[in-house]
Chains A and B, each alone.
Chain A
Amino acid sequence: MPRPIPVIAIAALAALELALVGFAVGTSDVSENYRAYYIERTTGCIDRPAIGSYRLGETLSLSQHEDSAFAKVLACGFGYGQRGGTWLQGNLAKLQFTDPPPSGPLVFEFKATPELYDDQPTQQLTLLANGMTVATIDMSAPAAAVHRIEIGAEITALSQDGLELRFELADTRIDRTRPPDGQRHTLFINWIRLTRN
């Protein structure tokens, strides 16, 4: 007959587990950025520093971005690279050109295909550079198109740290080939390029 397990040992284990769960769940210590993206889910864009340097004029394919050229400028809001490009996953995405910080007048070009449906026949994209609106684009043709946006020297001079480009979309569209909790696909982008004007 095995010895009975002491009640005190069971009680101690239960108390220890409760204390550890309480510590792990009840004392979270995360950044505001983390809280907004992961816990409160109030943003689809979690900022991260770019890796590596970007040479003006370089065309970055978004079709593969992990440890690749895309990581040089990606801040947040883009999905995984797929064949030919990638999706913006919410209504906000950011690119950062920080190494080296570009200066003077610039031209930002990108090739994109909008996500259009019969009941959503147009898609509006607002592009901001260092917080200033530089273009509002209405896309109603289902085919991919190249967009060219000029960025004045006064805008690049607004930040010493570099150029931040924000893609803001008026609405979030859901990939209708997936259930409603699937990827929030908003715009498919093939490539991007920043050049001197």
Chain B
Amino acid sequence: LHATEITGSAHAGQRLVRDLASLVLLAILATAARYLVYRLAIGDGSLSDYITKICDWDCHWYRGVAYGYDVFPAAGRAGDANWVFFPLFPLLTRLVQMVTGLDWAHAGFVFSNLCGIAAALICRPLLRSERAYWLFAVGLIAGPFSLHFSLPYSEALFILLTLLALRALERSRYVTAGGWGALLSATRVTGVLIGFALVVQAVVDKRRSGLAWAELPRALLTDRRLLLGALLVPIGLIAFMVYLRFHTGDGLAFAHAQIGWSRSVGNPIAKWWATMLTGWPFRDGFGTQTTLGWTAMTAMGLTIALAATGRWAAAVFCAVALLVSMSAGLTSIIRFSTGLAPLGLVLAGAFAFRGWTAVLGHVLGIGAGLVITAAWLLRWNLLV
């Protein structure tokens, strides 16, 4: 038995090294392809110019955070302040910057790529077939929204941490999942919602162990590992709130500053419907707004598919995260949806249905990735 274990461990190690090598090669090829798109869309320029060029939109906000939060919105701006951007990603990128001596855009490029490769490396247990695994991994690194793994944006780190938390939950390791959750809640405002996944996974686990519904409340409230895990999740958010309270005087500054972008919290369904109707029929803004509306619907459809395939914890996390994101308007719903890793998991599973669907998935994904890179370079604001 001991020899078998050693052999199994050696095989796992070999596969890890093989996967890592493949993913690094894939990341290099994907970067080369996106750079080619840059050359076609923008013109001459080195790889370094390309990396600088893609550092656009919120990239500058994250850079600002890395060098310190605003005390008060700067002159020459509307009321938007960088308090809405959570600290973990910019702090870690700043660390990469300090270690490597790279500028912000290049440090972000390196860190986001590392997060992407790590996410692709650790996600295998969350996928149900080898074909689905490679669809998801290639999708992350070279797929439709793979540009996020080259940008100094928090999506790459958020996806990595989400996958780590879901992996821990699959093994019923609530405390470990809570630890990853603490980091998630310091990365994006929706990170704290992984707490719902924790509780749902505990319910699923206890039901699988034969516990009756009536016994569940008591069993949950007396599960110390679950309680500790759930309490760990909001630590990142609470630490940020306390920091903001000292720094700005307002512990909820991250939420209040949304007004600087004319965002207010409301009924997510009403906001979705208003978005769908904006510009109807076919006037200014109709195409843009309905694209956002359809994206939200697609994301919700994938969330239902998650539930239908028994991934209840991930489904609840995505559903709540989508509704919270939509409650502030659908302006960034494309980016928010692509930051929800479980949606990619279910999509990869669907394309892995047959060999030809997998090939189709790869072709569509990689093609869309190149088109979206061009759209980003040409400042198509749907992706912001």
> Is there a chain B Cβ closer than 8 Å to A156's Cβ?
no
List residues of chain B with CB within 8 A of the CB of A27: 245, 251
> Is there a chain B Cβ closer than 8 Å to A49's Cβ?
yes
Q: How far is the CA of A127 from the CA of B152 in the complex (A)?
A: 43
Q: How many A-B residue pairs have CB under 8 A?
A: 134
List residues of chain B with CB within 8 A of the CB of A182: 262, 329, 331
Cβ-defined partner of A180 (8 Å) among B75, B78, B228, B274: B274
| Nearest Cβ on chain B to A50's Cβ, whole angstroms | 6
List residues of chain B with CB within 8 A of the CB of A20: 238, 241-242
> Is there a chain A Cβ closer than 8 Å to B224's Cβ?
yes
Most A Cβ at <10 Å: residue of B238, B257, B284: B238
Q: How far is the CA of A9 from the CA of B330 in the complex (A)?
A: 41
In the complex with contacts A24-B251, A25-B251, A70-B76, A181-B262 CB distance below 8 A: yes
List residues of chain A with CB within 8 A of the CB of B380: none
Cβ-defined partner of B245 (8 Å) among A28, A38, A89: A28
> B271, A179: Cβ atoms under 8 Å?
yes
In the complex with contacts A14-B231, A30-B250, A176-B264 CB distance below 8 A: no
List residues of chain B with CB within 8 A of the CB of A31: 249
Q: How far is the CA of A25 from the CA of B79 in the complex (A)?
A: 21
> Is there a chain A Cβ closer than 8 Å to B266's Cβ?
yes
Interface residues of B in 290-315 (CB under 8 A from A): none
Cβ-defined partner of B224 (8 Å) among A10, A30, A80, A181: A10
> A179, B330: Cβ atoms under 8 Å?
yes
List residues of chain A with CB within 8 A of the CB of B251: 21, 23-25, 27-28
> A46, B262: Cβ atoms under 8 Å?
no
List residues of chain A with CB within 8 A of the CB of B259: 37-38, 41
Cβ-defined partner of A183 (8 Å) among B225, B235, B262: B262
> B225, A66: Cβ atoms under 8 Å?
no
> B250, A67: Cβ atoms under 8 Å?
no
In the complex with contacts A5-B228, A30-B249, A181-B264, A80-B257 CB distance below 8 A: no
> Is there a chain B Cβ closer than 8 Å to A39's Cβ?
yes
Q: Which residue of B lies closest to A183 (CB)?
A: B262
> Is there a chain A Cβ closer than 8 Å to B113's Cβ?
no
| Nearest Cβ on chain A to B32's Cβ, whole angstroms | 33
> Is there a chain A Cβ closer than 8 Å to B234's Cβ?
yes
List residues of chain A with CB within 8 A of the CB of B262: 89, 181-184
Most A Cβ at <10 Å: residue of B72, B75, B175: B75
**How many chain A residues touch the partner (CB < 8 A)?**
50
In the complex with contacts A23-B251, A38-B256, A181-B264, A67-B329 CB distance below 8 A: no
Q: Which residue of A lies closest to B83 (CB)?
A: A38
> A23, B245: Cβ atoms under 8 Å?
yes
> Is there a chain B Cβ closer than 8 Å to A17's Cβ?
yes
> Is there a chain B Cβ closer than 8 Å to A74's Cβ?
yes
In the complex with contacts A10-B224, A17-B235, A29-B249, A24-B244 CB distance below 8 A: yes
List residues of chain B with CB within 8 A of the CB of A89: 78, 262
Please provide the 7 A-B residue pairs with the shortest distance between their CB atoms, ordered closest to farther. Answer: A24-B251, A71-B76, A177-B285, A24-B241, A38-B256, A29-B249, A177-B284
Not counting A5-B227, A7-B224, A21-B238, a sample of 16 additional A-B residue pairs whose C-beta atoms are within 8 angstroms of each other reads A5-B225, A13-B231, A20-B241, A28-B249, A28-B250, A28-B252, A31-B249, A34-B248, A37-B259, A38-B256, A41-B259, A46-B79, A48-B72, A51-B76, A178-B278, A181-B264
Interface residues of B (CB under 8 A from A): 72-79, 175, 224-225, 227-228, 231, 234-235, 238, 241-242, 244-245, 248-253, 256-257, 259, 262-264, 266, 271, 274-275, 278-279, 283-285, 288-289, 329-331
| Interface pairs (20), CB distance under 8 Å | A5-B175, A5-B224, A5-B228, A10-B228, A13-B231, A20-B241, A21-B251, A25-B252, A28-B251, A28-B252, A29-B245, A30-B250, A34-B249, A41-B264, A50-B75, A51-B75, A176-B285, A179-B271, A179-B275, A181-B329
